[in-house]
Structure 1
């Protein structure tokens, strides 16, 4: 039996008894009220320390931000409905602690503001920008193009190019082609994205073949992780080399997600490891965090790190092929962190896919949203 599994179960029980893990009523994806959301944010000193280290916040600023982000999660869904066809996207603004909603119709602003959001008038709707991005998804991108996504604050499709490849004729041709169909902005990145699988090393991993990856989130019957870590039918071993489970489904590229069923003798708990940096985190649901909110990642190589959500629905152009509908973050990661957990407060966000850089000099990382994985395989998130 895996020693850390026993530890996680014990930690979960302690947190539940302490009142930090009151179970959600209803489904795992049910949206709490604002008062419930604020009450449900269990703020530990370790979490505040991680946010201070990675986001440059004081402990009080980090706590205030967590509560504001919970409110923004609730507001975003209602604001999208109120805006209707005029919806131009939304993002969390840390300086004000409020959600900003872009609108193509000024008449919708009062209704959206009444929900507690700020508004900004823009030219292009989110639907129009999504269609423009979809047209780019049908193209083959050169290696010097790192990815592309809709940027709601810029009201454009943002294309990210590798700095050393920005003058490459193929890169320039791709950008010029994109500008024929949509408003385009171009930004640069230091390196091309890569996946974060790694060879067999120590730690608290799972293994398939000679690849080490990290568990994402517990679901009833197993766990979800990154698709590039293994193919359907591949056997999974635990940290001690003993048989742990089997990949039941996997998709990469195109997507980057997988479902692993576990054998008897192993069990799941609704916990994300804090690796001693913070106490282990209970998972209470999977409400999607808006752009601009803080998010933290747990992985078997670099353990616990935090940052912010930079973009959603980004197409990432890995050397193995493009992966769609990814979420981009400022969180660092390294080899072996693939498949690990991205969590905002107590809400599961996604599993680590890849990125560039490292946790010594910094970088950016993408995750596959967890709700898409749950829907794809008909899974139920294990929640506290």
Structure 2
């Protein structure tokens, strides 16, 4: 049985606080930290390892520090995007893990190999069995309305408020780019409209849609697809190895773990940076849906590989970045 949401949140926040203390003490001789049963910090020197142990965390001495892995990410992000690839710093293996899907063959694979070779042991290449794709096809489903020329379906992320502006909801940017008028049913009456400048993709993957005066009630909560809902009171950044859940209109509620932070993904539609990587499944139509932990909003569904029959990997846009961009709050 999993601990209650409040207990998980307390444990996560405690681990986060300890990570901050350890990072301050170690800088620049550390290579990340992860929260599990016990906080693990990756020092690069014996002196730093002693400080970690004294602070109550578990040291695991590694070769590459944070600045080295960050520089590796900068190099990869500056390279020509190769659709079907993704990369993320992984403290568990002390490398930047590069993922390539089955479409990366021939000239694309040669291009990727050319990019990775100079980086040597700082990178690790992994292959997936399914294509890396955006989940555009939606929490609760949202559809292109009766005045929209696009009949796409996505998922509502989080309901938000902004000072002096209409109530609104967040969803994925690759949804907001294509559909600017939303309804609760396919081709139904408009309930919300994406304002000018209200969608950001590629680079980011978030959008905002402002509710019309006659829109249905929109409390700050997430549909759990069991007849109940999870209230959302605040927003924060993800913590590596924490337990999280996501909700989407195609596959409902699914849970898993945060397996990476600051991931870059090269979709066919464009590159997105700064994403959260998880081992949670998702499918087309789940795009834009909420990633959360207890009452905390964490992210918006972007895309990934696999499905909810065989399992998969899903990437999420951090919600704090989206809230900041639009001057919005949850709860």
Equivalent position of 1:246 in the other structure: 193
Distance across 2 between alignment mates of 1:112 and 1:287: 25
Distance in 1 between the 2:140 and 2:298 partners?
21
Per the TM alignment, residue 329 of structure 1 is displaced from its structure 2 partner at its CA by 0.8
In 2, Cα distance between the equivalents of 1:243 and 1:161? 39
| Counterpart contact for 1:141–1:174, Cα < 8 Å | no
The CA deviation at 1:269 is: 2.1
2:130 alignment counterpart = 191
Aligned pair 1:207/2:154, yes or no?
no
Q: Which runs of 5+ in 2 are unaligned?
A: 145-149, 162-166
Report the counterpart of residue 147 of structure 2 in structure 1: none
Distance 1:349 1:376 in 2: 15
Q: Does 1:179 align with 2:83?
A: no
Determine the structure 2 residue equivalent to 1:133: 73
Distance in 1 between the 2:52 and 2:21 partners?
8
CA drift at 1:188: 1.6
**1:349 match:** 298
Listed as ranges, the gaps of 5+ residues in structure 1 are 1-57
Q: 1:80 to 1:246 in 2, by over 3 A?
A: farther
Confirm or deny that 1:272 pairs with 2:227.
no
Q: Distance in 2 between matches of 1:188 and 1:159?
A: 8
TM-score, normalised relative to structure 2: 0.86
CA distance in 2, matches of 1:61, 1:172: 48
Which residue number in structure 2 is paired with residue 53 of structure 1? none
Indicate the SS of the match to 1:297: strand
Structure 1 residue 173: Cα displacement: 3.7
2:22 match: secondary structure: helix
Q: Give 1:63 deviation, angstroms.
A: 9.1
Q: Which has the higher helix share?
A: 1
Residues 25-63 of structure 1 show CA distances to partners (whole Å, capped at 9, x for unaligned) of xxxxxxxxxxxxxxxxxxxxxxxxxxxxxxxxx346999
Residue 100 of structure 1 is aligned with which of 40, 44, 58? 40
Structure 1 pair 168–109 and aligned structure 2 pair: CA distance change class (3 A): same
| 1:219 alignment partner in structure 2 | 160
Which of 91, 101, 106 does residue 152 from structure 1 map onto? 91
Output one character per residue of 1:187-223: Cα deviation in whole Å (capped at 9) or x when no partner.
121122111111xx9x941123301111111210211
Question: Does the C-alpha gap of structure 1 residues 265 and 63 become closer, same or farther in structure 2, counting only changes over 3 Å?
Answer: closer
SS at match of 1:331: coil
Distance in 1 (alpha carbons) for counterparts of 2:110 and 2:57: 38
State the match for 2:164 in structure 1. none
Once the two structures are superposed, residues 128-172 of structure 1 have per-residue CA deviations (whole angstroms, 9 ceiling, x without a partner) of 2112111111112434x421111112111111122x456635314
- Cα pair 1:159 1:175 within 8 Å, conserved: no
The 5 Å alignment of 1:338-377 reads 338-377=287-326
Q: Structure 1's 259 and 328: CA in aligned 2 closer, same or farther, altered over 3 A?
A: same
Number of equivalent positions: 316
1:332 matched to 2:268: no
Report whether the alignment pairs 1:69 with 2:12: yes
Alpha-carbon distance in 2 for matches of 1:107, 1:131 = 24
Distance 1:81 1:222 in 2: 38
Contact kept in structure 2, 1:351 and 1:370, CA below 8 Å: yes
**SS of match in other structure, 1:181:** helix
Taking the aligned partners of 1:118 and 1:231, their CA distance within structure 2 comes to: 45
